[in-house]
Amino acid sequence: MNVAATIKSTLDEREVAYTEPEPGRFFVTLPGTKKLQTNCWLIIGEHAFVVEAFVCRRPDENHEAVYRFLLHRNAKLYGVHYTVDAVGDIYLLGRVSLDAITPDELDRLLGQVLEAADNDFNTLLEIGFVSSIRREWEWRTSRGESLANLKAFEHLARPDGDQRVSDS
């Protein structure tokens, strides 16, 4: 079975949403919980298979702490690593031999992408976007807006130690 056929059959069997905008390039959407979805490219190159997933935009602040977290996290990842693009946006990137792409290996790689992007997402926001989170919390509170999707960051928004959240 060729690599493209392996990718298609694996994604179909696992009911993973994807498109193939051109031969050898698959745009995959992985569902998450903290990060609602992770979009990634699966690219069949001449000599290697590449997986590339956007994780989050360039941090607003605490760049050194964010990059330190990413470097420490790289040591624990399988088949992919964190990287940044020219503007500082954060991605997961993996490059493996075309011969290595089996259904099980593709499943492991996509599982690692999903685990890292989803589980690290809130931590990256807490480190690199704390001021924005606090501003958003204050803005929503002042307008009586829902805080439901900010509850994970309540500890950042309430530096006075008051851990109560409204039910809105």
| Mean per-residue pLDDT, 110-126 | 97
Spatial separation of the C-alpha atoms in residues 158 and 121, rounded to whole Å: 20
Q: pLDDT, tens digit, for every residue of 129-159?
A: 999 999 988 898 899 998 888 888 888 876 5
104 CB burial (10 A radius; 0-12, 13-18, 19+): exposed
**pLDDT tens digits, 26-48:** 999 999 999 999 999 999 999 99
pLDDT in tens, 47-81: 999 999 999 999 999 999 999 999 999 999 999 99
Tell me the pLDDT of the chain averaged across its residues. 92
Going 134 to 138 to 141 to 145, the CA torsion angle's sign is negative
User: Strand order in 25-31's β-sheet?
Assistant: 17-22, 25-31, 37-44, 48-56, 90-97, 81-84
Q: Which domains does the chain have, with CATH numbers?
A: 3-128 (3.30.1460.10), 130-168 (no CATH)
Burial 37-74 (b: 16+ CB within 10 A, else e): ebebbbebeeeebebbbbbbeebeebeeebbebbeebe
Give the pLDDT confidence score for residue 137 in this predicted structure.
87
E strand segments, the chain: 17-22, 25-31, 37-44, 48-56, 81-84, 90-97
